[in-house]
Amino acid sequence: MPFFSRDGRLYDCLFAQQLTRELLEHLFKTADRLKTITQKKDGADYISNLLSDKRAMLYFVQPSTRTFMSFLNAAHILGVKTSEIRDTSTSSEIKGETPEDTVRTFSSYVDMIIMRHPAPGFVEKTAWLMNRTGRPVPIVNGGSGKDQHPTQALLDMYTLHRSFAGELDNKHIVMVGDLKRGRTVRSLSYLMKNYSNVSLSFVSPKEFRMEADILDFLKRHNIPFTETGDFKSVMGTADAIYMTRIQDEHDKSGESKGVDYSPFYFKKEHLELIKKTCVIMHPLPRRHEIEVSVDEDPRAVFWRQERNGMWARAALMAYIFGVDGKIR
């Protein structure tokens, strides 16, 4: 996707497919160094000066707390000054301005736009538009419709990287829940192309099975997968279990209410069925799909996964602005 790159480096982060293994490993190392350097005040002060001349806008017009706060604090770690739009009713869109003109207006004031938008493809369209102007700024996808969430996939892989000491080949990943409408599992599935001998199990109600485009992608890249409604049947061989909530905000007529989601819950009793090395992940927020009592088990890594997002996103921002080489 050369149109979204500059000088051989990622410029706009729009799709999980842009993240190669080489880039992922570089970002993981950068995130690790950021965590280490900023443990002391001198190091934190040094890092916070790297991008003190930059400004970023968080254009989040779809509900978000975790992703928004993660990006906000990632920017602050690097010294990036931030502004935000959380509701289009406070912008000139209420006067009839197009979303494209609104974003282009915002780009006049900042050096990067981080976007979460409910419309599939809108973030990509914005990046295409900005790259054709005289003053392009990098666009980072913070979640686009039901289709893409590349920085969530980045932090998920970073969590797996830290959980398995960097050994990500030869793993069995189990994804559970509303796979049809979950952009996190879609984006994570795309990244499996970077690893060897990885297999996937998709566990879901029949109404919310993984979409055909992801299955076709896996087939093209010779990544084996299975689909099942029997969660217990795949627990014992899993190296990672990725839980998701039901995505009923995408309902058109309340169809989620008719689906029994309880067979896709992870309960405390299931801890006896999984490997001692298996990790349990969740992009959050959760509802009932993971019992709270599971949190005490060291294999439950979703709170670490949450914090990892801040460091992974800081590493990505440093890379896009070209200061990653100064983080040593």
Comparing CA positions, the residue from 143, 160, 169 lying closest to residue 16 is 143
Partner residues linked to 83 by β-bridges? 57
Partner residues linked to 144 by β-bridges? 117, 148
Catalytic residue among 33, 54, 104, 116: 116
Catalytic residue among 33, 117, 146, 149: 149
Verify whether residue 95 is a known catalytic residue: yes
Verify whether residue 20 is a known catalytic residue: no
Verify whether residue 86 is a known catalytic residue: no
Please, what is the end-to-end C-alpha distance for the chain in angstroms?
29
| Cα distances (angstroms) measured from residue 141 to each of 117, 131, 271 | 9, 15, 35
Spatial separation of the C-alpha atoms in residues 311 and 315, rounded to whole Å: 6
Catalytic residue among 95, 132, 206, 276: 95
Verify whether residue 66 is a known catalytic residue: yes
Catalytic residue among 67, 102, 126, 151: 67
Spatial separation of the C-alpha atoms in residues 270 and 251, rounded to whole Å: 30
Catalytic residue among 21, 29, 66, 81: 66
Measured at the alpha carbon of residue 27, what is the angle toward residues 23 and 29, in degrees to the nearest 5? 120
Q: Catalytic residue numbers? A: 66-67, 95, 116, 149
